[in-house]
Amino acid sequence: MTDNDLAKTSPRRIAFLGTGLMGAPMVRRLLSAGHQVKVWNRDRSKAEALRSQGANVAETAAAAARDCEIVFTMLSDGKAVDAVLFESGVAEALARGAVVVDSSSIAPPIAKDHANRLLQRGIAHVDAPVSGGVVGAEAGTLAIMAGGTADVIDGLSDVFAALGRVTHVGPSGAGQICKLANQQIVAITIGAVAEAMVLVEAGGASREKFRDAIRGGFAESRILELHGARMVKRDFTPGGPSKLQLKDLEAVKAMADRFALDLPLTEQVRREFSDFVTGGGGDTDHSGLLLHLEAMNAAKGGEENND
């Protein structure tokens, strides 16, 4: 769907709570589709940056939600979503029949709890985390994993069309479990690409030429394309901070424990991200796991040289 097509859709009254790296470009897509969007962010300057593009900036989260039929949340974790929905007055501000779309990445049990609490107020809930990063948010090509009631999700098709491709993956909480599975794949693949980069350089080959050589083969992936390029250029400006990648991996571990699952690859990469974040890499892009592996191998080399 082109931007001209999006502009022809009937406008919806939308509140968007959380206008950070992902939220801001999603808001711009909704505005381009002709929707009326009120925005709120804890750091007001991030919301104010959207005013010139047509967004209305609200003083509080509750004020943003008032009179809106749809409320998006794109916040850091489950505690933040819980606080905004139920402690800041958002739930009370919404009328019966409104829909909360939570695009944050949070634990599935928390998403289910939010859905149940909102249902008691006559408010629908869709857990709709996304994948595709800032690039996908800007282009409107996000993969949206939606958990909730089919008719509610179908009723949001015009809104989701501005953001990307939506798939109804199951009942409440299903969107979040699918996002966690997505994050497993992302983290493990980042780890695999980073380890390959370390091996290639140790063997005397060019990391850049190595990446070029395997493009289009069986190792091709979006991670190799985007994060592999970051590793070659050594540009680790955060698109997805490592601390948030670790947060998702901790949530995967919690669910694996709950289901009595043994996920050895996920556990190994979780430990590596934990060490990286503990060592100060929390605000570095998750492709920066390469730095952790380089430091680990440099230290090992130093120890061997001392023998």
What count of other Cβ atoms lies within 10 Å of the Cβ of residue 256? 17
Asked if 54 and 33 touch (Cβ cutoff 8 Å), the reply is no
| Token pair in block for residue 3 | 């931007």
The per-residue b/e assignment along 160-182, b for 16 or more CB within 10 angstroms, e otherwise, is: bbbbbebebbbebbbbbbbbbeb
> Looking up tokens 């857990």, which residue turns up?
127
Q: Counting every residue, how long is the chain?
A: 307
Interatomic CA distance for residues 260 and 206, integer angstroms: 42
Q: Are strands 56-57 and 70-73 parallel, antiparallel or unpaired?
A: unpaired
| Token pair in block for residue 117 | 């609490």
Radius of gyration of the chain (CA): 21
Q: Is 152 exposed, middle or buried (0-12, 13-18, 19+ CB in 10 A)?
A: middle
**Pick the catalytic residue: 38, 112, 179, 247?**
179
| Token pair in block for residue 131 | 């994948």
Active site residue 38: no
So which residues are the catalytic ones? 179
